[in-house]
Amino acid sequence: MARIILKPDNNFFNFSYGTIKASNCRTSVKSQPLTGLPFKPSLRFRVSCSIKERELENAAEKKRIINGLEVNGQLKEQESLGEVGSGVRNVGFGWDWPPWKSLPQRYKLIGTTSLAFVICNMDKVNLSVAIIPMSHQFGWNASVAGLVQSSFFWGYALSQLPGGWLAKIFGGRRVLQVGVLVWSLATTLVPILAGFMPGLVLSRILVGIGEGVSPSAATDMIARSIPIEERSRAVAFVFGGLSFGSVLGLLLAPPLIQNYGWESVFYIFGFLGIGWFSAFQFVKEDQSPFGAAYQSWTWPDLMNKSWDSSLKDLGDSLKDVPWREFFKSKAVWAMIYAHFCGSWGHYTCLSWLPTYFSEELNLDLAEAAWVSVLPPLASIFVTSIASQFADNMIAKGVETTVVRKICQTIAFVSPATCMILSSFDLGLSPWEVVSILTGGLALSSFALSGLYCTHQDMSPEYASVLLGITNTVGAVPGIVGVALTGYLLDSTHSWGTSLFAPSIFFYLTGTIVWLAFASSKPQTFSKSD
């Protein structure tokens, strides 16, 4: 004899009731009044035809709960699951619309955060395209144009540590919202302030500040919401939005400028961020969807803290951060140096590769512009491969530290090798050199499954602060490295010496330090007395 199991949506108990008659495709229930039940007459239920099947079903139910698939009451009562008739109840099927309505909340959060990063890099690269007509209109020379572009990195560098601290105090969600709003409003102000140099520089500094707090905010949300076996994919998906944003910005900016003027890219891209800010208000965040099994630390109740917290509370919270313990850790120093090394190669190539393609490889400006899109475009595909590779290895039982070291080694050795090949005269055609550099820079995206996951592996509680520390140092090459490359180019007239040699040096030494000292083992960073 089988039993019917009644399962209300938000109550985890079973109620066995009545007998049933089973046929091939239909199950009927003897009509009897159900009294005294603490839920509505329209009930969701499942039919188990044996004790073994019931046990398997209960096990599957528990697994789904643990995996966060029923977080936030996503399994709603649906009339289509049980129809009350005249004496007979039929088992049916139903679904939610739109399709993303039934997605786990953490997936919605990660998806919208990735979209914010797409807009982030669109607002970062728009000036690199618009600077040409702006220089012609306002009569700027190369030095002034360089000042305007580098001002972004001043704000970006200064906001890293404050961003990580604020994400720790108020939660990454709130910090990300404010960051997007700040950089979007500052972007829309660029056309208004373009004729007033101090105001223009200030607006770009504000763009850098808004975008600078975003990586730490995203890291905080990932550390809160994503279990370790999904973390590589989550980090890759979120930070992969930067590559997609670069591609989208470089593709959209030229036709927009040509048809509507250079001002249009700042207005359109800025309003996209403001629209994102408005829509993000409707995306909720689960504070602890996975339970204690996925985190070894107790997350403080900071999500309910208001922005008008007293300065004393904020000062006390800043003192509570174990700064000294951070810098006692060799693994933290390995992250700091690796971040610096990776950023040196990334920022110098982002700034100078178009000029290298044009002057050294003799590509015309149109070809150089299109070729500049190839590295970030290829990075999108490599990122998805790297994240699957890392998560699969961890799921198979490979130690997390080993996985992170493998991924980061690929991210450093690959571009270094390709730059060495490009530095020598091997008789390669320009497009072969482009292909080699594109492949090497694309493989550097393995860092998203290496370095960029290690902050969360090491300490979910302080992940945002740790990323703030390493990203502050990582922003220095945007200020120093880009300018030094230009100085070396004027002095040596050699692209191999000015652009590739420093990057190769940092890539290789970064690999050595990472393999020797990096670790993903959880650390408490308890303050010593």
Question: Mean pLDDT across the stretch 254-265?
Answer: 88
pLDDT value of residue 55: 59
Helix (H) or strand (E) holding 160: helix 160-170
Give 294's pLDDT tier (boundaries 50, 70, 90).
very low
Tell me how many degrees the CA angle 150-155-466 measures, rounded to the nearest 5.
Answer: 120
The pLDDT tens digits of the residues spanning 422-452 come to: 888 788 888 898 899 999 999 999 998 999 8
Most confident of 53-62, 297-306, 308-317: 53-62
Per residue, the 3-state secondary structure of 367-425, as one string, reads HHHHHCCHHHHHHHHHHHHHHHHHHHHHHCCCCHHHHHHHHHHHHHHHHHHHHHHHHCC
18 sits in the region (left: phi over 0; alpha: psi -120 to 50; else beta) called left
Is the pTM here over 0.75, yes or no?
A: no
Mean of the per-residue pLDDT values for the chain? Answer: 77
Stronger pLDDT, 496 or 288, i.e. the higher one: 496
Rounded Cα gap, residues 314 and 302, in angstroms: 12
How many C-beta atoms lie closer than 10 Å to residue 428's C-beta?
A: 15
Tell me how many degrees the CA angle 335-211-297 measures, rounded to the nearest 5.
Answer: 50
CB of 381 within 8 A of CB of 442?
Answer: yes
CB of 269 within 8 A of CB of 145?
Answer: no
Superfamily classification of domain 108-283? MFS general substrate transporter like domains (1.20.1250.20)
Question: Mean pLDDT across the stretch 470-489?
Answer: 84
Nearest to 464 by CA among 115, 169, 237, 114: 169
| % of the chain exceeding 70 in pLDDT | 71
With a cut of 90, say whether residue 402 has pLDDT above it. yes
The pLDDT tens digits of the residues spanning 19-76 come to: 444 444 444 444 444 444 444 444 444 444 445 555 555 665 555 555 544 444 444 4
State the span(s) of the chain assigned CATH 1.20.1250.20: 108-283, 320-524
pLDDT value of residue 77: 38
Superfamily classification of domain 320-524? MFS general substrate transporter like domains (1.20.1250.20)
Rounded Cα gap, residues 102 and 1, in angstroms: 34
